Amino acid sequence: MMKRSKRWIGLGLILLVGAFVWWNRETIDLQPETLRDWILSFGWWAPVIYVVLYTLRPLVWFPSSIFSLAGGLAFGFWGFFLSVAGAVAGAALSFLIARWFGAELVKKEWTGKAKTVQKQMEAHGFLYVLAVRLVPVVNFDVVSYAAGLSKVRFGPYLLGTAVGLLPGAAAYTLAGASIAEQNITLIGLAVAGLVLVSMLPIVVRKMMRKRRGITLPGSEEKGERSDA
């Protein structure tokens, strides 16, 4: 009983910190350029500080795109690898927090749309997580916490996350690097990358329709409207 109380107290504190930062996000005014300057002020420790911040980012719900852009601005090409490391570590942290604090929920059956997501994630593991990461119809961090509250295994979840976030991380990091370098070629590549990333949901949805039993969030509603 005491252990369960400590878990919920810890979860409450995390949610309070996240809510405080979210409601004060305009006051904090965290921009990619501001984040870059602050990170680089740590000198040789800058890459480590960046990865640690990216890892903790899901706790306060800051957009991952800001961190990826800042990584490109601060570290150029190497920002891609650092942002991927931070994003994967953050996704792992979110999963483990949800699994630990929501241990009782993992044992229960969900209802409604949440039940569909739970069943899909548990049945298809890696493939479903990969598809949801490539088709950002659900917030990145929401997927991480939801996975932790489901019965999906950690390994397939983390692998699906790592592969699924590569295109977006590459596009945003390249965009940040192109701004820092003021290189017309890099800018062109960044624009092309962002366009390709925006088209990924269409391609992935078509691929998933061909696989029986896999339904992405929002697909059922769209299917119903198209049949009407």
Per-residue confidence at 4, pLDDT binned at 50, 70, 90? low
For the CA atoms of 152, 155, 157, 158, the dihedral, rounded to the nearest 10 degrees, stands at 150
Task: In whole angstroms, give the CA distance from residue 128 to residue 124.
Answer: 5
According to the model, what pLDDT value does residue 226 have?
Answer: 35
Task: In whole angstroms, give the CA distance from residue 16 to residue 85.
Answer: 26
Lowest mean pLDDT across 29-33, 37-41, 155-159, 181-185:
181-185
Q: Is residue 224 part of a domain?
A: no
According to the model, what pLDDT value does residue 131 have?
Answer: 82
Q: Is residue 223 part of a domain?
A: no
Mean pLDDT over 120-143 rounds to: 80
Q: Is residue 45 part of a domain?
A: yes
Q: Is residue 222 part of a domain?
A: no
With beta carbons less than 8 A apart as the criterion, state whether 147 and 129 touch.
yes
Q: Is residue 122 part of a domain?
A: yes
The boundaries of the domain holding residue 69 are 2-215
List Cβ neighbours of 49 (8 Å cut-off, separation of 6 or more).
39, 42
Q: Is residue 59 part of a domain?
A: yes
Lowest mean pLDDT across 70-84, 128-142, 153-167:
128-142
Burial class (CB in 10 A: 0-12, 13-18, 19+), 210: exposed
Overall number of domains in the chain:
1
Task: In whole angstroms, give the CA distance from residue 135 to residue 218.
Answer: 11
Task: In whole angstroms, give the CA distance from residue 116 to residue 8.
Answer: 26
Q: Is residue 148 part of a domain?
A: yes
With beta carbons less than 8 A apart as the criterion, state whether 32 and 176 touch.
yes
Q: Is residue 209 part of a domain?
A: yes
According to the model, what pLDDT value does residue 222 have?
Answer: 45
pTM of the model: 0.72
